Structure 1
Amino acid sequence: MNTRLCVLVQTPAHSALGPVLTYRSPQALAPGTLVRVPLGSRETLGIVWEAGVTEATGEIDPDKVRDIAGTLEGIAPLGAAWQQLVGFAAQYYQRSVGEVALAALPPQLRDLSPLQMQRRLKRKKTADSLGAPVQAAQALSPEQAEVLAQIQSQSGPFLLFGATGSGKTEVYLHAVAAQLAADPAAQALVMVPEINLTPQLEARFMARFGPVYGEQAVVSLHSGMTNPQRLKSWLAAHSGQARIVLGTRMAVFASLPCLRLIVVDEEHDPSYKSSEGARYSARDLAVYRGKLEGAKVILGSATPSLESWYQSRPSAEGGRYLRLHMPSRIGSLAMPDAGTAQDTGSAGTDSATFTAHAASPDQGARNAMRRQSGTPDGLPLVRRVDMNHQPRRAVFSLPLLEAIKERVARGEQCMVFLNRRGYAPVLHCADCGWKSECPHCSAFRVFHKIDRTLRCHHCGFTERVPRACPACGNPDIEPMGRGTEQLEEQLGALLADVRRPGTESAEHPEGLPLRIARIDADSTRLKGALETQLAAVHAGEVDVLVGTQMIAKGHDFRRITLVAAVNPDGALFSSDFRAPERLFSLLMQAAGRSGRDAALGDRSEVWIQTFQPAHPLYAALKAHDYPAFAEQQLQERQKAGMPPFSAQALVRAEARTQEAAQAFLNLARQSALTDMAQWPGWEVILEQVFVYPAVPMSIQRVANVERAQMLVESPSRAALQKFLAAWHDVLHGTRAAPECKGLIRWAVDVDPLAI
């Protein structure tokens, strides 16, 4: 007897198909079963879903209901909790549930036929390796032990607010070990924000747990893996063979039937928010999934997002997270007495703010400055260089150059941070004003000196650098601004006479020159390049490391004692209200790369070259005082009605013309203000929701596609969600309006991170 099934397929939210389709099966199948079904002229993967046949799209006429093509035998149905997680994500982020569910599965799973999958499952499994030596757990500091005791005794969720180098990863390892030991089937999910952080994390977890539970017990899930690798990891997690899953934001949807612990490391990082498809926040879904499955959730960061910080206020004030604090670095030592250190103010220094050509003081003076600035023991001293008092157009101040030379002479390493790759962001002609604009985007092409190209970082359009100005023929076209390529070049010229100690020989009597390396998206494009360059830094083969945010977070560089941030002021005056939060977080994370070895921690420093040395953000950074910075930012946001004191959504439209994109958004807005206001009972909801007029996006044209956006805001998250759900059909209907001819696509972004 044939049974009708409701099956999810990957249909986008803007299609005419509903969330589920009706199919026929010779036998009843449990919800969550993976099946192959015909869809139009092709065959695709579907998921049997818990829904009434009346909810399905299409005719119920038996002659029009098609048969499923087959069932993926050997794969257990996806659990009810996983289905509920996917359903919530689709509803909250305004996407089709089929789109979210199928996108959460490995690509190869969507492509293999039932027969191919059977062959795949029959392959001989890799034998577990149980004979390798077990890496002993490190002894815990009192702060770590107290934090772990609270994690064991409380239900959470937890916000682990720990200074960089305070040993948060060791807390994660112990928390995972406790869960796995308590339940022989327990699983843990550990997420990091970026792919390049997974190898070192996987190495630590494998060394700790691989010898105990086997090599298959620790797997990774991220988009940098091949499709067969992702499928293998997913199957290991789904079957319960993998006890620990490490991954990026996509791992939040991993099928883990016995999930007991979720860790979100660097929870503040914007990478946890997807920027395409279902624009979900993996951090927020991790909290929801923990509540759904009864799993403990640990959010860890030295600079928590303001939303998480606000949610970790005392429960009496409405906080939902338990804040755990680890302010000290592992192995931090009390500073030696400054003794007879001289006051450095006469040398042009005011408690770590440089205004002139002051050389780096000796250790005694440095310790005195640490005390004066309130720098906690073991954390790097933050020194602000007032670039208003440096030579005009100077890239590196003289005090910073002297400090770098001092570190190289001692055999230590330095890191120079600038979050802009390439040689210069713009190439221009001083005679006629021509600039290297991209013909396909409303942005400039970046000058890359190494390969002599102008490259658009938005659409990828690349051309050779012209020999003369294309507009007037002037041969003297010049770069404007600077990127990491230029920093690397200029540092090499300024430090050309510096020699590494202990490298003298008959061939090089004065010693070898210092070694400068650059790590950014350009230098690490080739497979394995990033791992090779990071290994060189760890091995001490690099004296000065130049790079973007790729090197500013998560890496445990043991010999770096000086970190310098070049020109970070741009974010202080951004129109994006989140820009100061991102800047503070990025600088604090970069500062955390300095002095991670306890033996070098008392002379670790962070240099901020700025034209705004008195800015409150830098004052809080100098004192490593994130709570003060967060309090000031939250006060500003509360007065302005910004998140976390309100809920927001962006509706973005892409069209062939800017007029069509804005017309679509404004027509949908007008419908919300007029038509929806006539619906019974909707006056109250519309009074709580404010829909702003459409405006062009900051970069309004990318690859010849015009982009516009419209902000929807409400002090009530429930009211905003109800409005968006009802408005969805209005948006669909508006697309067919004559004024919107040329509209390509539209999407809703709930809780956007960039406006």
Structure 2
Amino acid sequence: MPILRLAIACPLRQLFDYTPPPDLNPDTLELLKPGVRLLVPFGRRQVTAILVETAAESALPADKLRAAVQLLDTEPVLTQPLLQLCQWAATYYKHPLGEILFAALPAQLRRGTEHNPAGTRQWRLSDAGKGLPAGALRRAPKQAQLLSLLQSQPALSDAEIASQGISRAVLRQLADKSIIESVDSPLRPRPGSSASGLELSPEQRTALSAINSHAAGFSCHLLDGVTGSGKTEVYLQLIAQVVEAGRQALVLVPEIGLTPQTLSRFRERFDAEIAVLHSGHTDAARLKAWEAARSGRAHIVIGTRSAIFTPLLKPGVIIVDEEHDASFKQQDGFRYSARDIAVKRAQLEEIPVLLGSATPSLESMYNAQQGRYQHLFLRERAGAGVLPEIATLDLRKQHLQGGMSAALLDAVSAELAAGNQVLLFLNRRGYAPTLQCHDCGYVAGCKHCDAHLTWHRAAGQLRCHHCDWRCAVPRACPDCRSSQLAASGVGTEQTEQVLTNLFPAVPVFRVDRDSMRTKGALEAVTEQVNLGKPCLLLGTQMLTKGHHFPGITLVGLLDSDAALFSADFRGPERMGQLLTQVAGRAGREDKTGRVLIQTHYPDHPLLNALLQGGYQNYAQQLLEERRQGGLPPFGQLLLVRADARNAQAAEQFLSALRRQLEQRYPGGAQLIGPLPAPLQRKQNRYRMQLLASSSNRGQAQALAAALISTAESLPEAKSVQWSLDVDPQDMT
């Protein structure tokens, strides 16, 4: 009797040994493959588990082993390359394998729902079944009925069998007896004809040719193209070639908001089945798309971060658009980078991976410089588009209306009068970031976090943007009872109101998380803007990623100063990426564009370095600073976070962890902390951090393993919640 080593979604970093279900057919047991699900007893519950491997014996005595209850799948729900990928991720990120494997499955399959490949699975007689005579299995009428049906037809789908009143239990019974076997519908070798692509520029042709020259195996390419240079056209023509060859393409985009726009372009271009996966879909829709990708019916798969774990029958290429975007890093639970996972998956699948961005991350640029990635450049805008002129507006001593200076408003008025469109960027939603008493200085704060409440005037609420706690706007100051409560600072609601009053004849479209809550809201705004009529677009970071608005000739950044003084060492990199991406929305076709950046610090060295040398030179300067400081990508960071109901418990845990590490691994790495997190109290829990850095990645991995084992052994760990973040992207 083999031992089944199973992964279960729990915080324990181990596999669990079980014996097979007692009623499992010996032939089925012999053919059991890693990646199938089983129902098993776990404590007082029954849970879903995934088979990782089988073994001849267990370290546990036989009387301690429990039997699995039921085999849920006849074929693995996770492919062998995906199992390998999840095992690698568990080792690299030091996270429990069970939680990673279940994160790779749709929610319904995690819950143990029977796997129905959405009508694509077909059943046929096995060799043993073909040897049975007509009229066999009479003692089991439903089994006999199914046998008779398959004796008269070569194969039947799940839906066809269900229409005859035959249950899944009957299917499983005949499958366990090896009388029938399942087969997946094959991938259409070629979809219908695709629309012809645009004529490529010489730079685009060179990039596509370079990728194709490595198409036979694993290769990683960094497509470094200025905004509007036609990176998407390179993606589309590469995908056309992959699909034409009968293989599948996986495309990752950073935000759900980009998915409809991307999907629209792909559907216009390809007569092919496209599966879309993101968290905005229902569980049923995600399972349907997942199954279309797994079975090979979907030729193209588009999704956000978690889509990197989608199984593909015939993978051909992986594309990560806006590879620099921070949203590719999961910030809680299983803290992984979808970009880095994409590179590893491509290596395991032996296919090319393409990372694209106008502002590549410093890590990707460094890997390209080291020869690990092939660095491809698109330095010129496609078609008649030219890069916009960029200038700063000094805000010192200037009167502002809704956060806008007179010079910016004059420029806006001139562009609208000329029949053009204007985009204004303010990365702060709500009416005002704080509500303050003019008499005593009281500032409305969150009861659960060390944060100010944002005034959302339209909703009549104060909201915490960290824990989402909400309350009504007070009529008087809670401290001095004064009625002199006033907005401090500017948010998108306030700016929208000012713009509506100043330009009543022009539509103002506000794009932020509050205004775009309803389904289809962003697509509706995009359609209106693309009509080309004069309008004002006002928005947050949602507007900076991948959107193409050909009528915009002026981009105004209302407040860039916050990015200049970030407490995070990645702050300068993100500032450069954000400013470059926002500026890239202007002048994307035949109209000349310009960008105006409002700032109180027009002489700031970071801002000047970016404006004078462009992002490429700016990034090289940041890389040199990182090299001197031993920071990523020249070293690896590990961040241990701990939070508790009181600050002392979290600090004591991290202090004990540091003492143990210094005793066991003296000089192995630089340790900083424990220190309070920049936002120390969140949701009534106090957060502390311990940072570890090493210039040697192998040493950092050994240290990460030591951090885990040491932390788990500390008695102080019982009173806190703690986690390890490998390669943290957000230090706040």
Tell whether 2:524 aligns with 1:532: yes
Q: What is the Cα deviation at residue 389 of structure 1?
A: 5.3
State the alpha-carbon separation in 1 of the partners of residues 68 and 725 from structure 2: 36
Question: Residue type matched to 1:471 in 2?
Answer: D
Deviations, residues 297-318 of structure 1 (Å, cap 9, x unaligned): 11100000011111111xxxx3
**1:191-230 aligned within 5 A:** 191-209=252-270, 211=271, 214-215=272-273, 218-230=274-286
Question: Residue type matched to 1:644 in 2?
Answer: P
Deviations, residues 649-693 of structure 1 (Å, cap 9, x unaligned): 10001111011011111111111112x24xxxxxxxx42312222
Question: Residue type matched to 1:149 in 2?
Answer: S
Question: Residue type matched to 1:728 in 2?
Answer: I
Q: Partner residue of 1:40? A: 43
Q: Partner residue of 2:483? A: 475
State the alpha-carbon separation in 1 of the partners of residues 537 and 64 from structure 2: 68
Task: Work out which of the residue numbers 584, 592, 614 in structure 1 matches 2:584.
Answer: 592
Task: Work out which of the residue numbers 679, 684, 689 in structure 2 matches 1:699.
Answer: 679
Q: Partner residue of 2:730? A: 754
State the alpha-carbon separation in 2 of the partners of residues 115 and 178 from structure 1: 32
Determine if contact 1:36/1:68 at 8 Å carries over to the other structure.
yes
Q: What is the Cα deviation at residue 541 of structure 1?
A: 6.0
Q: Partner residue of 2:20? A: 24
Question: Residue type matched to 1:7 in 2?
Answer: L
Deviations, residues 155-193 of structure 1 (Å, cap 9, x unaligned): 6311100011111011011112222333x2x22211111
Question: Residue type matched to 1:325 in 2?
Answer: F
Secondary structure at the counterpart of residue 663 of structure 1: helix
Q: Partner residue of 2:209? A: 149
State the alpha-carbon separation in 2 of the partners of residues 447 and 748 from structure 1: 35
TM-score between both structures, scaled by the size of structure 2: 0.86
**Structure 1 stretches of at least 4 aligned residues deviating more than 4 Å after TM superposition:** 53-56, 115-121, 127-133
Question: Residue type matched to 1:167 in 2?
Answer: G
Determine if contact 2:461/2:472 at 8 Å carries over to the other structure.
yes
Determine if contact 2:434/2:454 at 8 Å carries over to the other structure.
yes
State the alpha-carbon separation in 2 of the partners of residues 541 and 129 from structure 1: 44
State the alpha-carbon separation in 2 of the partners of residues 61 and 131 from structure 1: 54
Q: Partner residue of 1:614? A: 603
Tell whether 2:693 aligns with 1:713: yes
State the alpha-carbon separation in 1 of the partners of residues 679 and 473 from structure 2: 23
Q: Partner residue of 2:594? A: 605
State the alpha-carbon separation in 2 of the partners of residues 230 and 657 from structure 1: 40
State the alpha-carbon separation in 1 of the partners of residues 521 and 501 from structure 2: 25
Question: Residue type matched to 1:294 in 2?
Answer: E
Q: What is the Cα deviation at residue 430 of structure 1?
A: 2.5
Determine if contact 2:106/2:287 at 8 Å carries over to the other structure.
yes
State the alpha-carbon separation in 1 of the partners of residues 62 and 261 from structure 2: 56
Tell whether 2:380 aligns with 1:391: no
Tell whether 2:647 aligns with 1:658: yes
Deviations, residues 9-51 of structure 1 (Å, cap 9, x unaligned): 1112xx4x72334232432311122333332333332221126
Q: What is the Cα deviation at residue 96 of structure 1?
A: 0.4
**1:675-754 aligned within 5 A:** 676-677=664-665, 686-734=666-714, 736-737=715-716, 742-743=719-720, 745-754=721-730
Q: What is the Cα deviation at residue 79 of structure 1?
A: 2.3
Tell whether 2:487 aligns with 1:435: no
Question: Residue type matched to 1:82 in 2?
Answer: L
Secondary structure at the counterpart of residue 114 of structure 1: coil
Q: What is the Cα deviation at residue 632 of structure 1?
A: 1.1
Q: What is the Cα deviation at residue 400 of structure 1?
A: 1.6
Question: Residue type matched to 1:552 in 2?
Answer: T
State the alpha-carbon separation in 1 of the partners of residues 301 and 38 from structure 2: 25
**1:230-249 aligned within 5 A:** 230-249=286-305
Q: Partner residue of 2:52? A: 49
Determine if contact 1:657/1:705 at 8 Å carries over to the other structure.
yes
Q: Partner residue of 2:622? A: 633
Secondary structure at the counterpart of residue 157 of structure 1: strand
State the alpha-carbon separation in 2 of the partners of residues 55 and 469 from structure 1: 67
Secondary structure at the counterpart of residue 673 of structure 2: coil
Tell whether 2:198 aligns with 1:138: yes
State the alpha-carbon separation in 1 of the partners of residues 36 and 52 from structure 2: 8
- Which is worse superposed, 152-161 or 388-397? 388-397
Secondary structure at the counterpart of residue 694 of structure 1: strand
Determine if contact 2:227/2:381 at 8 Å carries over to the other structure.
yes
Taking only the aligned residue pairs, the percentage that are identical comes to 41
C-alpha RMSD of matched pairs (Å): 2.4
Secondary structure at the counterpart of residue 692 of structure 1: strand
State the alpha-carbon separation in 2 of the partners of residues 55 and 129 from structure 1: 45
Tell whether 2:87 aligns with 1:94: no
Count of residue correspondences: 661
Secondary structure at the counterpart of residue 193 of structure 1: coil
Determine if contact 2:40/2:47 at 8 Å carries over to the other structure.
yes
Secondary structure at the counterpart of residue 593 of structure 1: coil
- Which is worse superposed, 294-303 or 636-645? 636-645
Question: Residue type matched to 2:409 in 1?
Answer: L
Q: What is the Cα deviation at residue 133 of structure 1?
A: 7.2
Task: Work out which of the residue numbers 546, 550, 558 in structure 1 matches 2:538.
Answer: 546
Q: Partner residue of 2:154? A: none
State the alpha-carbon separation in 2 of the partners of residues 230 and 433 from structure 1: 50
Q: Partner residue of 1:189? A: 250
Task: Work out which of the residue numbers 432, 447, 451 in structure 1 matches 2:459.
Answer: 451
Determine if contact 2:421/2:533 at 8 Å carries over to the other structure.
no
Task: Evaluate the alpha carbon distance shift between residue 72 and residue 489 of structure 1 in structure 2; reply closer, same or farther with a 3 A threshold.
Answer: same
Task: Evaluate the alpha carbon distance shift between residue 517 and residue 718 of structure 1 in structure 2; reply closer, same or farther with a 3 A threshold.
Answer: same
Secondary structure at the counterpart of residue 138 of structure 1: coil
Q: What is the Cα deviation at residue 636 of structure 1?
A: 1.3
Task: Evaluate the alpha carbon distance shift between residue 189 and residue 741 of structure 1 in structure 2; reply closer, same or farther with a 3 A threshold.
Answer: closer
Determine if contact 1:553/1:593 at 8 Å carries over to the other structure.
no
Q: Partner residue of 2:221? A: 158
Tell whether 2:10 aligns with 1:7: no
Determine if contact 2:3/2:17 at 8 Å carries over to the other structure.
no
TM-score between both structures, scaled by the size of structure 1: 0.83
Q: Which consecutive unaligned segments of at least 5 residues does structure 2 have?
A: 122-157, 161-184
State the alpha-carbon separation in 1 of the partners of residues 451 and 3 from structure 2: 53
Q: Partner residue of 1:175? A: 238
Q: What is the Cα deviation at residue 90 of structure 1?
A: 1.0
Tell whether 2:358 aligns with 1:302: yes
Q: Partner residue of 1:276? A: 332
Q: What is the Cα deviation at residue 469 of structure 1?
A: 0.3
Secondary structure at the counterpart of residue 53 of structure 2: coil
Q: Partner residue of 2:66? A: 65
Q: What is the Cα deviation at residue 129 of structure 1?
A: 14
Determine if contact 2:41/2:66 at 8 Å carries over to the other structure.
no
Q: What is the Cα deviation at residue 198 of structure 1?
A: 1.0
Tell whether 2:459 aligns with 1:460: no
Deviations, residues 236-282 of structure 1 (Å, cap 9, x unaligned): 11122222211111011111242221111100000000001110001
Q: Which consecutive unaligned segments of at least 5 residues does structure 1 have?
A: 334-377, 497-512, 678-685
State the alpha-carbon separation in 2 of the partners of residues 93 and 460 from structure 1: 29
State the alpha-carbon separation in 2 of the partners of residues 432 and 390 from structure 1: 26
State the alpha-carbon separation in 2 of the partners of residues 134 and 181 from structure 1: 9
Secondary structure at the counterpart of residue 693 of structure 1: strand
Task: Evaluate the alpha carbon distance shift between residue 546 and residue 39 of structure 1 in structure 2; reply closer, same or farther with a 3 A threshold.
Answer: same
Q: What is the Cα deviation at residue 207 of structure 1?
A: 2.6
Determine if contact 1:20/1:55 at 8 Å carries over to the other structure.
no
Secondary structure at the counterpart of residue 276 of structure 1: coil
State the alpha-carbon separation in 2 of the partners of residues 537 and 234 from structure 1: 33
**1:309-388 aligned within 5 A:** 309-313=365-369, 318-332=370-384, 378-388=386-396
State the alpha-carbon separation in 2 of the partners of residues 310 and 226 from structure 1: 39
State the alpha-carbon separation in 1 of the partners of residues 321 and 634 from structure 2: 25
Question: Residue type matched to 2:92 in 1?
Answer: Y
Determine if contact 2:661/2:707 at 8 Å carries over to the other structure.
yes
Question: Residue type matched to 2:7 in 1?
Answer: L
Task: Evaluate the alpha carbon distance shift between residue 77 and residue 581 of structure 1 in structure 2; reply closer, same or farther with a 3 A threshold.
Answer: same
Task: Evaluate the alpha carbon distance shift between residue 383 and residue 436 of structure 1 in structure 2; reply closer, same or farther with a 3 A threshold.
Answer: same
Determine if contact 1:37/1:45 at 8 Å carries over to the other structure.
yes
